[in-house]
Structure 1
């Protein structure tokens, strides 16, 4: 009997590369925040060059130029990681169903982010473009997380592990989490950390939009508490209960940072931590969503169907009893 070809890329390496995409895309959100919080958004005043004469920052451009150029260089690190993940997904045997399209989406998303970043610079850090830049980062985290979970699971069909009502509550929590992030972007666009002293703001009243953001946070926390209790009540898998509790704890930590930064006039360090917290809340939300379903092995027998009346004769070889 012919032995199957050995995969040139191990499953462990593929999973590690996929996880590295999550870490890298979260990290560049934080470094991008550092660019804005240090007023270095126009440290390189044009794009794709750093200046009209040079692709790199010069000593005369000072700290702001170095910070902005350093953040641009991180894009190449992300491209290398995403490219390596795509090649690994292509080379892995047996090829994981759906992994290649997800890996390709990460690569294309990073390239799109670079272009959006360039538009951000050329529009003098317009808050709407900056907001789009951040939201796309969250979408990239979604795709990177989906890729990591995909290469960590079997190739069979997905099945829910909680009742439909709990699944619906999970999706409501995901929607609320996304709404908190989007409105948080609007809060940032109305505040003082624009990325440059002369950058325009979105014109929203900071106090009003901050109150809306806080109300959505309370809604999210309430939904998460309800989801955690519901998962416990229906006897959901321990992983799902832990994921909901983790999300709740991350939300509470993020909420504390948010309230403290608001009442202390938005200190730079706390705003940076709040941006990191946004990534963690989103990833914890995705973990809850994925925990309410499982993917079975490809050769897993289908669930038994209810018997129906039939006039056909009995099969000559009855099916074996389920294990």
Structure 2
């Protein structure tokens, strides 16, 4: 089925593919935005919404930094096209619900809003706190897109034990705390996006240890979730999340010990987005108290089996 047909008369599989496209596109924009900062191209286009006071496109004097920053801005339009297509697919799908339409609309509106925040980062000369907000909003769009994937796909509505929900919820909260602390480490470190951009004034070494402590707690909670959810439909999701956390933690240590090489920092950014996506999927699978498509579904209890 072609793209046009998947939007004209979408089936569940088509809608799910578009939702996944929104997840991937939002992660890609996290990567390209990070590369702008890592290559000191944050002010490659020194103003916004134009690139310069007199032009929407960069001129030769801006060099490669202007090309990189302008390219990232152009990719935002690709992302907008993807989320609009996702919204159309959700809206026209025969199995849609009002909640799904609202979620798709929120994602579609969130992308241009995120673009405005990106413009504000330029107009404030890459203020590190605004840059952190820009990053967190991108992560929220990743989470919302993954939520859409899970809701469209549908899962068995199971009555999970209260303690399982509490552990998964705590894991998700600590995950977001770890990601935000990571943005604070970046705001204190050398990758400011421009040689003249300000830093947040925090000690980067102290903040690195605080961030690491949050990661230790996250891994411990995820291990607990894996134990509690063993032999349940959510065990695989929790296991994958733990593996990504361990890989992400390893990359974090290596980049800290090797003075933050650009390639590793870029991979670390993608890993953070992948963690948000995976954590959101686990949260919705276990903690959500409503049926996947907003319909009344019979619940049956899940009791993790003890190994003998």
SS at match of 1:98: helix
Preserved CA contact (<8 Å) 1:96 1:151: no
Which is higher, the Rg of structure 1 or of structure 2? 1
SS at match of 2:229: helix
- Say yes or no: does 1:162 pair with 2:160: yes
- The aligned runs of 1:72-83 (5 Å cut-off) are 72-83=73-84
Give CA-to-partner distance per residue, 1:247-296, whole Å, 9 cap, x none.
Answer: 11100000000000001111111111111110111112112213326836
Identify the residue that residue 308 of structure 1 maps to in structure 2: none
- Say yes or no: does 1:258 pair with 2:256: no
Inter-partner Cα distance in structure 2 for 1:185 and 1:281? 15
Give 5+ residue unaligned stretches, structure 1. 1-6, 305-323
Give 5+ residue unaligned stretches, structure 2. 1-7, 301-308
Give CA-to-partner distance per residue, 1:289-309, whole Å, 9 cap, x none.
Answer: 1332683678876469xxxxx
Instruction: Between 75-84 and 160-169, report the one with greater CA deviation.
Output: 160-169
More helix per residue = 2
- Say yes or no: does 1:204 pair with 2:198: no
Query: Offset of 1:8 from its aligned partner?
Result: 2.1
- The aligned runs of 1:42-53 (5 Å cut-off) are 42-53=43-54
Query: Offset of 1:101 from its aligned partner?
Result: 0.5
Give CA-to-partner distance per residue, 1:108-165, whole Å, 9 cap, x none.
Answer: 11011110000000000000000000000111111111111122127xxx84442111
> TM-score by structure 1 length?
0.86
Number of aligned residue pairs: 291
Inter-partner Cα distance in structure 2 for 1:296 and 1:21? 19
- Say yes or no: does 1:279 pair with 2:273: yes
Q: Which has the higher contact order (CA 8 A, sep 6+)?
A: 2
Specify whether residues 216 and 298 from structure 1 end up closer, same or farther in structure 2 by C-alpha distance, changes over 3 A only. closer
> TM-score by structure 2 length?
0.90
Runs of 4+ in structure 1 over 4 Å off: 296-304
- The aligned runs of 1:212-231 (5 Å cut-off) are 212-231=210-229
Query: Offset of 1:95 from its aligned partner?
Result: 2.8
Aligned equivalent of 1:249, options 243, 246, 253: 243
